[in-house]
C-alpha cells in the first residue's frame, strides 16, 4: 500500500521557558523535535526537554549577550543540536553563521534572517512566514526596544523598520517580559493613544496574575510602540518637548525617546 496521506509537517507549538528574572527562552516544537531561541540557561531548557520527551535539534542565537548564549555549550554537549547565530566568530559554539536574507530550515519550517543592529552590532532576528512568527531577541520589545549598547539610533531605526513592515498578523516573540514598564513609559510619550491605554490595562491585569504578556503582534506594536511611531505627531511633539528642540526627524525622535527612556 502506498501512503497517500500528505501531512504538512511544520512547527506546531511555541512555548516559553522562563529563565533568570525576566527572560523567556522560546521553544519551537514539531512532533518530538524542538529548537530553542537564546538559551541563556541550559538547565531550564534541559528540564523542559526531559519533561516533555523532546529532542533538541537546533539552537537559534540572536546576539552575544550572556543571558541569550550562556546555555549553548552545555546544551550542545548533551543534545548535539545544530547551532545558528550571528556572523563574526565571537560566540562560542556557533556551527552556522548567518547574515541578512539567509534562509534556513528549522523543524521543516523556513526562516529568513534579518540583520538588526542597534542593541548590539551583531544582532539578528529570525522570521518565518510559514508560521507568521518573528523572534526578535532584544531588538524589539512589546511597547519598547532594546537599549543602544553598541549601535546607533539610525541602525536601530532601520532594524525596527524591517519589523514594522512585516505582515500585521506576525506574532512577535521578544526575549524579555518588559512590557508593563515599557507601556508605563509609552504613556508618557503618547498619553492620548487609546489603543495604548487599553493595552496597558490588559497587560496590567495579566501581570497581576503573573501571566506573560507575549507574544505580541506587528499590528499591535505598530499601534502602541512609540519606537515604531516616530512619525506620529504626538510622539514627535513630546520628543521635541523633552529635547527642547524643534523639527526633529524620525531618527532623532527615536534617539530622543531612547535617551528619555534610559533616564525614566
Site for Fe ion in 107-146 (CB under 5 A): 138
CB of 247 to Fe ion, least distance (A): 34
Given the complex with Zn ion, which of 182 and 238 has the nearer CB atom? 182
| Count, residues near Fe ion per rule CB under 5 A | 2
For residue 144, CA distances in Å to 86, 183, 191, 226 come to 23, 8, 15, 7
Q: Which does 229 bind (CB under 5 to 8 A by kind): Zn ion, Fe ion, none?
A: none
CB atoms within 10 A of CB 127: 21
Report the alpha-carbon distance of residue 210 to residue 54 in Å, rounded.
26
Given the complex with Zn ion, which of 119 and 229 has the nearer CB atom? 119
If we measure between CA atoms, which residue out of 185, 199, 203, 173 comes closest to residue 144? 185
Site for Fe ion in 56-75 (CB under 5 A): 67
CB of 88 to Fe ion, least distance (A): 18
Given the complex with Zn ion, which of 40 and 215 has the nearer CB atom? 40
Report the alpha-carbon distance of residue 64 to residue 105 in Å, rounded.
22
Q: Which does 115 bind (CB under 5 to 8 A by kind): Zn ion, Fe ion, none?
A: none
Report the alpha-carbon distance of residue 93 to residue 77 in Å, rounded.
10
Residues that bind Zn ion (CB under 5 A): 65, 138
Residue ranges in contact with Fe ion by CB under 5 A = 67, 138
Amino acid at each position: 500500500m502506498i501512503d497517500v496521506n500528505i501531512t504538512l509537517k511544520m512547527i506546531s507549538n511555541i512555548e516559553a521557558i522562563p529563565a533568570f528574572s525576566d527572560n523567556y527562552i522560546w521553544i519551537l516544537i514539531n512532533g518530538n523535535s524542538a529548537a530553542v531561541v537564546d538559551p541563556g540557561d541550559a538547565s531550564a531548557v534541559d528540564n523542559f526537554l526531559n519533561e516533555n520527551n523532546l529532542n533538541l535539534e537546533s539552537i537559534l542565537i540572536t546576539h552575544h549577550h550572556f543571558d541569550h548564549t550562556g546555555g549553548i555549550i552545555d546544551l550542545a554537549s548533551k543534545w548535539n543540536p545544530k547551532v545558528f547565530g550571528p556572523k563574526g566568530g565571537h560566540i562560542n559554539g556557533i556551527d552556522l553563521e548567518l547574515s541578512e536574507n539567509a534562509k534556513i530550515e528549522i523543524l521543516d519550517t523556513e526562516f529568513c534572517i534579518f540583520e538588526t543592529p542597534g542593541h548590539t552590532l551583531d544582532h539578528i532576528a529570525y522570521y518565518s512566514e510559514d508560521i507568521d512568527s518573528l523572534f526578535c531577541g532584544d531588538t524589539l520589545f512589546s511597547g519598547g526596544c532594546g537599549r543602544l549598547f553598541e549601535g546607533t539610533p539610525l541602525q536601530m531605526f532601520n532594524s525596527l523598520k524591517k519589523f514594522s513592515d512585516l505582515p500585521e498578523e506576525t506574532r512577535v516573540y521578544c526575549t524579555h517580559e518588559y512590557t508593563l514598564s515599557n507601556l508605563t513609559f509609552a504613556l508618557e510619550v503618547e498619553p492620548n493613544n487609546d489603543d495604548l491605554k487599553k493595552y496597558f490595562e490588559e497587560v496590567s491585569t495579566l501581570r497581576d496574575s503573573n501571566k506573560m504578556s507575549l507574544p505580541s503582534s506587528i499590528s499591535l506594536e505598530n499601534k502602541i510602540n512609540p519606537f515604531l511611531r516616530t512619525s506620529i505627531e504626538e510622539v514627535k511633539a513630546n520628543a521635541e518637548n523633552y529635547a527642547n528642540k524643534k523639527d526633529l526627524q524620525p531618527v532623532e525622535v527615536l534617539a530622543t525617546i531612547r535617551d528619555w527612556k534610559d533616564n525614566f
